[in-house]
Amino acid sequence: MLERELSHGKEFLLGPQLSLADFYMPPIIHAFGFAPEAQAMYPNFPSICAWRERVEALPTLRRFRAAQPPHGPIEHARKWVVSHRPKY
């Protein structure tokens, strides 16, 4: 649905101006992009890719991304998952 809405030439989700909707979707799409399957799917959605580039280039989002810690495995979470696996 997002691709369809953006493919009508809208610069942002609700039209020509930036709105709260444009700040709501980046975390979802950013997290989705960590999955290899998602990375393979992105080329199929050129309007979403172009919109994401526009939003990620905004000074506010650039400052936010720069303030985030590096993405990496969370070791205590990995240990928890291994220790809580069902034993069949």
Q: Residue 73: which CATH number?
A: 1.20.1050.10
Distance CA 48, CA 81 (A): 33
Give the closest residue to 54 by CA, choosing from 29, 34, 37, 31.
29
Q: For residue 19, what are its two tokens?
A: 């709105």
**Tens digit of each residue's pLDDT (9 = 90 or more) over 45-69:** 999 999 999 999 999 889 988 998 8
Residue 87 has a pLDDT of 80
How many separate domains does the chain show?
Answer: 1
CA distances from 62 to 57, 58, 59 (A): 6, 6, 5
**Residue segments in the chain with a per-residue pLDDT below the cut of 50:** none
Residue 76 has a pLDDT of 79
Q: For residue 61, what are its two tokens?
A: 């989002």
Tell me what percent of the residues of the chain surpass a pLDDT of 70. 99
Q: Is residue 88 part of a domain?
A: no
Domain extent at residue 22 = 2-83
Residue 62 has a pLDDT of 93
Residue 34 has a pLDDT of 79
Question: What are the residues whose beta carbons fall under 8 Å from the beta carbon of 5, sequence distance 6 or more?
Answer: 13
